[in-house]
Amino acid sequence: MDIKDVVLKPIDDRIDSQGGQKKVKGDSFDEILKKSLDEVNKLQNKADKSIEAIASGKMENIQDAVMAIEKADVSLKLLTEIRNKAIDAYKEVMRMQV
């Protein structure tokens, strides 16, 4: 998923003139998260296939395999950091006194 695919709308566009909420076009947070998880999974599977191809001698261009493995590694690290930030935010909200 590219960052250009994310659609951000101002909060004011979500409220109509009677104070009711309008349906905003674009992906919600959970849809973006699911797409990101699917993309990371695809990259991990591609990296695994590249490793198998190298081990079996079927892949001649090792640079492509290294690139696939590094993409998978970076995307997994990013996903892990996003998860950590979400958990930290949740913990911070739970510490708030009402």
Question: Do residues 6 and 35 touch, judged by C-beta distance below 8 A?
Answer: no
pTM of the model: 0.66
Helix (H, G, I), strand (E, B) or coil at 98: coil
- Cα separation, 65 vs 82, in Å, equals 26
Per domain, the residue ranges of the chain are: 3-95
pLDDT number for residue 12: 54
* Interval 35-82: pLDDT, tens: 999 999 999 999 999 999 999 988 888 999 999 999 999 999 999 999
Residue-wise DSSP of 11-60: GGGGB-TTSPBPPPPS--HHHHHHHHHHHHHHHHHHHHHHHHHHHHT---
Provide the Cα torsion 70, 28, 30, 72; round to 10°.
Answer: -10
User: What residues are paired with 15 via a beta bridge?
Assistant: 21
- When pLDDT is cut at 50, 70 and 90, the band that residue 33 belongs to is confident
Q: What is the mean pLDDT of the chain?
A: 83
pLDDT number for residue 22: 61
Tokens of 98: 């009402």
